[in-house]
Amino acid sequence: MSGLTIAGLQVAIGLAQPLRDCSLSVAPGEVVGLVGESGSGKSLTALACLGLLPAQARARGQIQLGDTALLGATESVWRGVRGRRLAMIFQNPMSALNPFFSIGRQLLEVVGAHFAEPRAALQLRVRKALKRVQLDAGFADKYPHQMSGGQLQRAMIAMALACEPELLIADEPTTALDVTVQARIMRLLRELTGQGMGLLLISHDLALVAQVAARVYVMYAGRTVETGPTRELMGSASHPYTANLLKAQPRLGQFQRRLPVIEGQVLPATSSPGGCVFQSRCWRATELCGLQPPPALSLRPQSRVECHHPILPTLLAKELEHG
Ligand SMILES: Nc1ncnc2c1ncn2[C@@H]1O[C@H](COP(=O)(O)OP(=O)(O)O)[C@@H](O)[C@H]1O
Ligand code: SF4
Ligand SMILES: [Mg+2]
């Protein structure tokens, strides 16, 4: 087995169950999107992959990176995985960068922690990492406050890539940047994955994810409720929640920049419904939806939807017309 596989991941924090059932996979070199409203459990999924869940959290299920089981791994296993085989970038680059050290020194520290090599070889890795994110070698001497938001995000990506990880998890990597810089960072991330590294791109911005991801997972109330190849899923969603997200799109191929507001409240993490997690906001809900958890159906190759009454492709257009 290679790449990342998450199966049936559940996370409880106190009485809350913010992750109810998350399952996803990212093959080597693949770009996969994870999309959902704020609070749906995207960041917790990422943190679980890095063994960085809050101390009081209890996790169940399976997280595999290649042949390594990550959930419940020992500290010595984590040392070989975190930053080395699996790297992460966040919304705010300053959360990972130290304002008092130059970018070059911080990069050197990262590679020095993972490779037992002479200084010259480590410095070569630093120069290579800067080059990959299109920052010239002079940036090694710069301090974070001397750089723009886009340059800082590039420096953080360089830091993540310096150890040539198998998988990069990017959690809302461009949310804090303006739109043109956002597009450049996205292009950069896409180019980097061409070299065998997998990318899990997490965002509330469906349009952004659709630009780069080959497959998308849609998360709702801690469950991955639908997945499929990006084009198919964006063209005709099977889950009523995904369809709601796409409903306001002006034309096929021109997607909303932000998730539109969906009426009703997201299911609180402390509530445990008898049936489907989306029932209180769903326009297709029947009595059955309140009684039994929906089955996972595969209506198309590579696709999966958790719903008692999934929308069939030909019906979708009509429903949206009248909805
Ligand atoms: N440290 C924590 N303690 C308690 N609840 C948390 C903690 N971190 C996240 N949560 C809860 O878990 C849910 C999912 O959070 P998160 O994964 O950050 O969502 P997203 O990234 O999709 O916006 C939210 O309801 C949030 O309040
Ligand atoms: S199972 Fe029922 S309530 Fe849930 S999404 Fe499907 S139709 Fe809606
Ligand atoms: Mg988040």
Tell me the average confidence (pLDDT) per consecutive run of 10 residues in the chain, 323 residues long.
Answer: 92 96 96 94 97 96 97 93 92 86 96 94 94 92 94 92 93 86 86 86 89 95 97 92 74 46 74 88 95 94 96 70 63
Does any ligand 1 atom lie closer than 6 A to the CB of residue 40?
yes
Which residue type does 240 have? P
Query: Exposed, middle or buried: residue 253 (CB in 10 Å: 0-12, 13-18, 19+)?
Result: exposed
Does any ligand 1 atom lie closer than 6 A to the CB of residue 20?
no
For atom 20 of ligand 1, which residue has the closest CA? 39
Which phi-psi region, left, alpha or beta, contains residue 67 (left: φ > 0; alpha: ψ -120 to 50)?
Answer: alpha
For atom 6 of ligand 2, which residue has the closest CA? 307
Q: Which backbone phi and psi does 99 adopt, to 5 degrees? A: -65, -15
Residue 250 neighbours by CB distance under 10 Å: 8
Position 86 scores a pLDDT of 96
Residues 237, 304: Cα–Cα separation, whole Å: 11
For ligand 2, the distance from its centroid to the CA atom of residue 35, given in whole angstroms, is: 19
Q: 142 CB contacts (<8 Å, ≥6 apart)?
A: 102, 103
Domains for the chain: give ranges and CATH numbers.
Answer: 4-85+165-322 (3.40.50.300)
For atom 17 of ligand 1, which residue has the closest CA? 41
Q: Which residue has the tokens 């995000």?
A: 153
Position 252 scores a pLDDT of 39
Rg (CA), the chain: 21
Residue 65 DSSP one-character state: E
For ligand 1, the distance from its centroid to the CA atom of residue 203, given in whole angstroms, is: 14
Quick check: helix, strand or coil at residue 31?
A: strand
CA distances from 71 to 4, 41, 52, 80 (A): 12, 17, 11, 14
Nearest bound ligand to the CA of residue 37: 1
Is this prediction's pTM over 0.85? yes
Give the number of residues written for the chain: 323
